[in-house]
Structure 1
């Protein structure tokens, strides 16, 4: 990624430019614990998948042998096809139907990615999406393009294509390439939502991409994207209310809106017939909920809790939260420098009121 590889940014969902200043770091905080959980879950799924495949192959072997003993003939290619796994066309029955060769199922390569049962394919893709290597991300983008073309009705591939587009966009140093990847990611989210309209992760990713898109949009579109951002965050929270990152995102949105100047609200109202809504109290509640739901220290979320308290006039409590935030070691050097700079500035500014 162009900043740091393991961070996702929402930059400006835009209400008359105020969201253009927003950089929401979403997954860095959860990366390590998610990877640990994901690794354990993936190993369990792989083990179960292999066990199921072995049992299925053994049943197929016995059934095939029974048929040959009954008819005293070899099954034809067409009959052998009836024993292939129905969820994928990647298993082809060879013309030689001897016990050993009929069940010697070989893997098919697609652009360097082993095409195994869908669950294992998705695990391989997810490993690729978790990499810091730009070249691997771009290779995975090509792989997912091909998979979405071959399986256009599978939302899991469209969702991962959108994730890969986001990663490629954040990595990109060329504005035009970044814009194209963001647009492609939004379209992939739309395709995924056509099949799974109640998938909270797709709605969250949609909001992230819309936020990134504002860098390239005129003022009116940025305002529209602000409403679109909130719409998808609201849906995602309704579907998955225990996701701390979603509450943080909503808090960031409300915090920025609470700081809108009166004339900025006037412009938004003139263009869309309604002013954006958000207060520091609402933003604080969102950040506190994110804090309650997270299991580890989240530097950025604590910083925003402190900023909300300061905005509400509770300077002492705000400074306490800022002090907690600055003592946390962040997950990346860039994030550490950026957040510590802002926290340090606020502490210097408000410590005199303590």
Structure 2
């Protein structure tokens, strides 16, 4: 069981992005089983309905043949044609061919038994085999000539199965929505979210939506430990978070959150790697944030993170960047102008007030020597209500800019 801290601290979005940059760089098996079982039962039900329709068509044709046969007998009687015993025996069994190409069988009517039956390539009743199927007798009630009880049972089972699937999905949605709310709250809320994820890990461990959430939750705990000065525990949580983020992206790379948290944790893990690996982590961060934006281009948090990346890269001195390129052959290149554009885009798409985003817009304006604009954004950031511990940390930085 993972140790859970008890002292109240906060998780800051800017701390996540900032520490994720390395050297100055920063949505079950059980459901699958139920789903495919439901699909298979539905397929069998459809096939049963098709067979039923073919039998109906066959009955209609047999009725037409029977009427034609009766008409022929009447015409023969009108012409005074005597039917000898031997001749009657010759016509006792009349074979007709089914027009249904789907059944590909011939249908025989026996006057002796008064029963229709089908036979595979047979010319008379004597060659009827075990494969022949007796569909109905003229003496039977038309409404019950084909027993649909198994079909009705199958439909009922499918309906029940579908209901179970949706109930399970609703449980997952409810769990994830509650966890998401808690992870954006206080330190106590974040610890509660972590415990909740642990409780439901066994039945959700094969879901990418669970894996990126547990990665985010471990990251929250790492920041809590950082505030407490527990560096070793912080490192342990960061590497655990990275492992879960990596599993998530292997399971389903179509979710923007999967790319987002893989990027963040790759960057944070870079703090404990070699310089070359830290630079590589920076490229990984940028690559996966951009992939997440391709999936969800209007997600404000992704634009904010890309802005943070550009801001941190732009903050690296020219000499440091030059040395990195000389030693390792590559280094990201960004400007404060690029960072500002990403922060402004985040502001445009944000559905809520992002305190830290406004804070960084002000910082970009200062780097561009736009003092008046910077002051305006500082005040806008300052006026955003403080709701979480993360807001408290940002507020401290904003107050420094106001002095």
Report the number of matched residues: 269
Q: CA-to-partner distance for each residue in 1:168-222, whole Å, 9 max, x for gaps?
A: 4344454444333332332322222233222111111112222332443343332
Q: 2:399 & 2:201 partners in 1: Cα distance?
A: 45
TM-score if structure 1 supplies the norm length? 0.63
The counterpart of 1:201, out of the listed 257, 261, 270, is 257
The counterpart of 2:396, out of the listed 318, 341, 344, is 341
Q: CA-to-partner distance for each residue in 1:93-130, whole Å, 9 max, x for gaps?
A: xxxxxxxxxxxxxxxxxxxxxxx613313422442454
Tell whether 2:229 aligns with 1:179: no
Equivalent residues of 1:134, 1:171 under 8 A apart: no
Tell whether 2:315 aligns with 1:274: no
Greater Cα shift, 120-129 or 223-232: 120-129
What SS does the aligned partner of 2:17 have?
A: strand
Tell whether 2:215 aligns with 1:162: yes
The counterpart of 1:85, out of the listed 147, 150, 161, is 161
What SS does the aligned partner of 1:18 have?
A: coil
What SS does the aligned partner of 1:10 have?
A: helix
> Cα 1:328–1:157, aligned 2, differ >3 Å: closer, same or farther?
closer
Q: 1:333 & 1:315 partners in 2: Cα distance?
A: 28
Equivalent residues of 1:144, 1:161 under 8 A apart: no
Gaps of 5+ in 2: 27-146, 183-187
Q: Once the 2 structures are TM-superposed, how far is the Cα of residue 301 of structure 1 from its aligned partner?
A: 1.2
Equivalent residues of 2:17, 2:308 under 8 A apart: no
> Cα 1:188–1:144, aligned 2, differ >3 Å: closer, same or farther?
farther
Equivalent residues of 2:211, 2:248 under 8 A apart: yes
Q: Once the 2 structures are TM-superposed, how far is the Cα of residue 133 of structure 1 from its aligned partner?
A: 4.3
Partner of 2:64: none
The counterpart of 1:18, out of the listed 15, 20, 24, is 24
What SS does the aligned partner of 1:117 have?
A: helix
> Cα 1:263–1:83, aligned 2, differ >3 Å: closer, same or farther?
same
Q: CA-to-partner distance for each residue in 1:5-42, whole Å, 9 max, x for gaps?
A: 56552342335x223xx7xxxxxxxxxxxxxxxxxxxx
Partner of 1:124: 175
Equivalent residues of 1:137, 1:168 under 8 A apart: no
Equivalent residues of 1:11, 1:214 under 8 A apart: no
Pair member with larger Rg: 2
Q: Which has the higher contact order (CA 8 A, sep 6+)?
A: 2
TM-score if structure 2 supplies the norm length? 0.56
Q: Once the 2 structures are TM-superposed, how far is the Cα of residue 286 of structure 1 from its aligned partner?
A: 0.6
Gaps of 5+ in 1: 23-67, 92-115, 349-354
Q: 2:163 & 2:11 partners in 1: Cα distance?
A: 33
The counterpart of 2:278, out of the listed 212, 222, 237, is 222
Q: 1:332 & 1:160 partners in 2: Cα distance?
A: 19
Equivalent residues of 1:211, 1:229 under 8 A apart: yes
> Cα 1:238–1:280, aligned 2, differ >3 Å: closer, same or farther?
same
What is the alpha-carbon root mean square deviation over aligned residues? Answer: 3.7
Equivalent residues of 1:140, 1:164 under 8 A apart: no
Equivalent residues of 2:11, 2:223 under 8 A apart: no
Partner of 2:110: none
Partner of 2:315: 259
> Cα 1:130–1:169, aligned 2, differ >3 Å: closer, same or farther?
farther
What SS does the aligned partner of 2:357 have?
A: helix
Q: CA-to-partner distance for each residue in 1:119-178, whole Å, 9 max, x for gaps?
A: 3134224424543346644433433442255xx3x3333333333433443444544443
Q: 2:218 & 2:360 partners in 1: Cα distance?
A: 29
